[in-house]
Structure formats: structure tokens, C-alpha cells
Amino acid sequence: MTASMQPAKPDRPFAWLERRLDEADQQGMRRRLVPRQMDGPYLLEGDRRLANFGANDYLGIAMDSSSATGSDERGETPATFGSGAAASPLVCGFTPLHARLCGELAHLEQVESVVLFPSGFAACSGVVATLPEAGDLVLSDALNHASLIDGCRLSKATRFIYPHCDHRAVGSLLAAHRKRFDRVFIVTDSIFSMDGTRAPLVALADLADEYKATLIVDEAHGTGVLGHRGGGLCEELGVEGRIAIRIGTLSKAVGAQGGFVAGPQVVTDYLLQRARPLIYSTAASPATIAAALDGLRIIREEPERRRRVLDLSGRLIEELNRQLPAKRRIVDHGTPIIPVVIGEASKTVETAGRLADAGFYVPAIRPPTVPPNQSRLRISLSAAHTDEMLTELCETLRTFGL
């Protein structure tokens, strides 16, 4: 579909969420995040210092500021903070550090707003379980991450599973079923964790435009790695402005822990009202948030790390393909994930054990994580790997006949 053929998007694609939020406002039920910082048994909330009777820090361990150190909310001077957040974000677990991280992630993703989740799994399952409802349709890639799959199962929406990365199948499903449903959501990973394959995001965005569907993309393995800024595959392909809801993790390239959802303010506000993994989970600790802020700084200031890991990936695939039979050669998808498919689970586990004996940790991935007879060694590259490490790994695999 050419740009000139694309139908105009509705001015307010999330008007239904706006109505829900207005109703919550009128009923006095709307939740909002307020940055609060613990100071021992007190909370600092703006100019106020309040005795804290809202946390779940029953033994006072999280409130002990001697247990962790890091940067203040501006990241300029050393400061102390407790080792835990002590409560959910909506109670008193959302600190100025959390607020700053949301702002920096929103800048990275070029969106209005970001909301944090305790893990990437919680972010994925929470979004997909919360937004699609009864009367809606969800189309989910067959190889989506388990967190997205669980979100689909928890949702009351009708769901169809389409063949991996098959945008034509998505088009056929939309043509056949779109008129039956109030809203349609297309859910996909951007980079698939066991294969390193890339979702056809441009084609999916075209279909979302044509059928007035909402595309939800999990950038867990793209954030920090792909794109000029490190914004992920959506940025690299130039479709970030067409994909309203993007999910990311802080536990992979960012080097910390947690997850986030990036998108319009109305979407993140609605998730604050309804997403159970967010509302009922303790917030990530301030120490973890400080680590994530430092990771984002490195992503911003050291783009050579992205270039390095992708260069290593291309070189390793080229070298492995020299020694693999044609039917087992690896496709270079331009990601740091390299699967060496062996097939039989027991042989894969045995090979991983032999690699460990030789000084390499390469996990053996078996069913149900991958389909039967698709067991594999999953090589995950890092910019920290040396050229010598790659050479030695290739030589060792060659001696194993791989």
C-alpha cells in the first residue's frame, strides 16, 4: 500500500480510553502517579515531609538509606536511597528517579508518555490483557514471547494466531473478520528471541492503517540495539510514529531490570487504572532505576557499542556458515541472536555440555520453548565479547562437527 493510498487515521484513535478516564475522574476513581522519595520512615513529597504509614517495609530494611547509593534525581551528585521501593507505584513506590526514567525513556522512544512495570514479562502480559476486551479481536504471531501469549489468554478478546512473520495471513484474517469486531489489535515481537528474526513491521503498520487496527510491538530485543538512537526496530524502519504502543525491557541492552510501555498519554494513563501487574506489584527499587538511567546514558553516549555487537554478529554468522551444511545455514537478520539448530533435544543438551567443558556457556533451548525437533544452541552476543572469544567459539564448534 503506497502512502497516497493509506486511509486517514481517525483523529482520536483512543477515544474509548479517553471516555473511560473521564468517567473515572467524575467518580473520583482515577489513579495518578505522584513522585515520592523515602527518607527513612518519612516520605518527601514536593515540599512536604510526611511520616510514612503507607509502605509494606515491615522490618524497615528498604527505608535504611545506608543500604544503597546512587545519583540524585538530576543524576549529578551522590545520594542515598533505600534498597527497595517498599510499595506499588500508586501507593508510594514511585520516586523522582522513576519519574526521571520515564522522561528519558519517552525521549528515547519519541512518545508522549512511558509507564514502568516491574518486569518486561509484566509489561507485555499486562498490556495485552488490559487493552483488548470482549468484543475485540487480537491477532498474535505464532512465535510471540510467552508474556504476550499469556496476555492474549488473559484477555476476554477473541484471538487468532497467525503464522510466524506472515503479514499476508494477517491481511487475510483482517479481510475476513474485521467487520465483526469493535476493535482489532495486532501483537508481535519486533525481534524474536529464539530465532533473531525481524517482524515485518512496515507491512503490519500498513495493514493496521488500512483496517483501523492498533499495532502493539514488543521491542524487548530491539531497544538499545537497533536504530540510530537505540530506539529499536521501529526506529530503524522509520515506523515508530505509526506504532502507537511499544513495549520495552530494562533487563537486556539497558543492563538493569524492569519493563515499560511507551505510547500516548491516554494509553499509559489507562494502564495505571486497569493493568493489574502494574497496580498490584511493588515498584522496581530505586537502585535498579538508577542502574537503568545509567544504562540509557551509555546507550545515548556510546553508539559504538551497537555497531560493535552487530558487526560481531555478522562476522560470526559468516564464519559459522562456512562450516555448516547448506540446509542448516544461518540467516543473518542483523540482530545479536544466533540460533544453531541441532534438532534433537538430547544431542543439543549434550553439545551444550561439551561447550561448557571447553569453556563456553551456550544455552541449549528445547521444547516447549521451541517446536519439537527444533532444539538449538542460542548464541547471544555482546559488545563486550572479544574477537578472540568468537574465533575460539567457532573453532570449538568446528571440532564438534557443527
Q: Return the closest-CA partner of residue 212 out of 178, 246, 173, 235.
A: 178
The confidence score (pLDDT) of residue 36 equals 81
Q: In what order do the strands lie in the sheet with 337-343?
A: 337-343, 375-380, 364-365
pLDDT of 76 over the 60 cut: no
pLDDT of 400 over the 90 cut: no
Task: Give backbone dihedrals phi and psi of 191, rounded to 5 degrees, phi first.
Answer: -115, 125
Say if CB 298 and CB 154 are below 8 A apart.
Answer: no
Distance CA 295, CA 289 (A): 10
- Please give the mean pLDDT across all residues of the chain: 88
Task: Give backbone dihedrals phi and psi of 57, rounded to 5 degrees, phi first.
Answer: -85, 75
The confidence score (pLDDT) of residue 238 equals 96
- Residue 57 CB coordination number (10 Å): 21
Distance CA 160, CA 143 (A): 13
Which region, left, alpha or beta, applies to residue 292 given φ > 0 means left and ψ of -120 to 50 means alpha? alpha
C-alpha cell at 45: 513529597
Please determine, looking at this structure, whether the domain spanning 119-257 carries the CATH number 3.40.640.10.
yes
pLDDT of 131 over the 70 cut: yes
Share of the chain above pLDDT 90, in %: 67
**Gyration radius of the chain's alpha carbons:** 23
pLDDT of 8 over the 90 cut: no
pLDDT of 68 over the 50 cut: no
Say if CB 63 and CB 42 are below 8 A apart.
Answer: no
Distance CA 264, CA 244 (A): 7
Domain coordinates in residue numbering, the chain: 17-94+264-301, 119-257, 304-399
Task: Give backbone dihedrals phi and psi of 393, rounded to 5 degrees, phi first.
Answer: -65, -45
Residues 89-113 have pLDDT tens digits of 888 889 999 999 999 999 999 999 9
Q: What is the mean pLDDT of residues 66-79?
A: 44
3-state secondary structure 321-378: HHHCCHHHCCCCCCCCEEEEEEECHHHHHHHHHHHHHCCCCCCEECCCCCCCCCEEEE
Distance CA 127, CA 248 (A): 12
- Lowest mean per-residue pLDDT among 14-18, 126-130, 209-213, 271-275: 14-18
Global pTM reads 0.87
Residues 39-67 have pLDDT tens digits of 877 778 888 887 777 676 655 666 665 44
Residues 352-375 have pLDDT tens digits of 999 999 999 999 999 999 999 999
Helical packing angle, 304-323 and 286-301, nearest 10°: 80
- The CATH topology of domain 304-399 is Aspartate Aminotransferase, domain 1 (3.90.1150)
Share of the chain above pLDDT 70, in %: 90
Q: Coil, helix or strand for 19? A: helix
pLDDT band at residue 1 under the 50/70/90 scheme: very low
- Residue 54 CB coordination number (10 Å): 15
